[in-house]
Copies of this chain bind each other. A is one copy, B any other.
């Protein structure tokens, strides 16, 4: 079964945006053991779209088309598809849209433009909106199950995604190198890396004639992976550092507060992205100005004058002050210089102190990173969350 993905939109061809839809679709299919054969992107031009549809009809069995279904003037994919495949457009009353006759309509759970399914010369075409959240919702719920039902001569496919923090891709790759037969295959398991700053994702995939065989191959790969780089793996699948932290805090019935200077609220924001976080996260202070550090966290004037705001002494006082005022079991505090301005010879841009107040004591970690402002914040927030995660794991 040959699969093609066609993306429509000048914004892709002009390099204005990264085609994340094609990455999502390709990966979703791959996770089900289907590798996409062709990815094409074409402009918002009726004749070009027509040619792309006809080409796909000749070379593929399943074609997924995204983009050009929105409400604006440059969205006319369905109209062109109907003309290309000699279908009439008929008013679909329930969807308030023009739909090619004989087409299947998939209700969009998160937007207005429906998905459309069309058959042409035995080839299944699926038209989806280009807005990622709408495309994903429609694809996962309706389209993927239909495509899988068409799959013949099935090999059983298994895969698992691991999330690593604290080891770079090159280090992970090196640690696993004895495992490789050729560049990416390890026996019956395929290893894929993906950088997702500041994390690295490792995907193991296996194929087998039977469920049992595929499972066995995958488990062998997982054992090797955990033996070699287990300490860098913090989670699996859709987990995040903050969701794992949330699970640990919940299950240990502990509470947390945060005091942030250079991360400016990012740690609190990530922690509160997790549904249910109100049960363990009480809140925090974004202490950008020194006056806030003093008034809200009780940092001593003397500390600021002697050691400066970017110091382990200040970080520890911020963490202890936060912990005490919010009455939480743990408190994280960060203070640093995100840059690009504000650095000195002693404390260059990128200097950061992360303090963790626990029920027993307070510890401080210091780092220096040369990164742009936003990446610096992301990395520091991840490090802070990870320090607390490791502390909770050691309990």
Contact = CB atoms under 8 A, between A and B. Distances in A.
Interface of A: 7, 10-20, 22-30, 35-44, 48, 51, 55, 59, 70-74, 76, 131, 133, 169-170, 172-173, 177, 180, 183-184, 191-195, 197, 203, 257-258, 260, 263-269, 271-273, 275-278, 281-289, 291-292, 295-296, 325-327, 338-342, 373-375, 377
Top 4 nearest A-B pairs (CB, nearest first) are A264-B272, A15-B27, A265-B268, A15-B26
A243 to B, nearest CB: 12
Given A286-B283, A289-B283, A292-B282, A177 B13 contact: no
A379 to B, nearest CB: 13
18 contacts: A11-B203, A13-B37, A14-B30, A15-B27, A15-B29, A16-B203, A18-B18, A39-B41, A70-B183, A74-B193, A131-B195, A265-B269, A268-B286, A273-B377, A278-B342, A282-B289, A285-B286, A291-B327
Given A194-B11, A194-B17, A73 B265 contact: no
A13 B26 contact: yes
Contacts of A260: 265, 268
Contact of A269 (B27, B203, B269, B277): B269
Main SS class of interface, A:
mixed
A133 B257 CA distance: 33
Nearest to A262: B272
B35 A24 contact: no
B20 A16 contact: no
A239 B54 CA distance: 41
B377 A269 contact: yes
- The winner among A203, A284, A373 for most chain B CB atoms within 10 A is A284
Given A16-B194, A35-B14, A272-B265, A288 B283 contact: yes
A97 B318 CA distance: 46
A387 B289 CA distance: 23
Nearest to A200: B72
A3 to B, nearest CB: 9
A41 to B, nearest CB: 4
Contacts of A289: 278, 281-283, 326
B296 A285 contact: yes
Contacts of A272: 263-265, 286, 288, 338, 377
B18 A192 contact: no
Given A265-B286, A272-B264, A285-B284, A42 B51 contact: no
A301 B16 CA distance: 51
Contacts of A10: 35, 192
Contact of A19 (B19, B73, B275, B285): B19
Contact of A15 (B25, B76, B173, B338): B25
Contacts of A72: 169-170, 172-173, 193
Nearest to A292: B283
B37 A42 contact: yes
A109 to B, nearest CB: 11
B37 A43 contact: yes
A252 to B, nearest CB: 18
A287 B42 CA distance: 48
B14 A36 contact: yes
Nearest to A193: B72
A341 B13 contact: no
B268 A296 contact: no
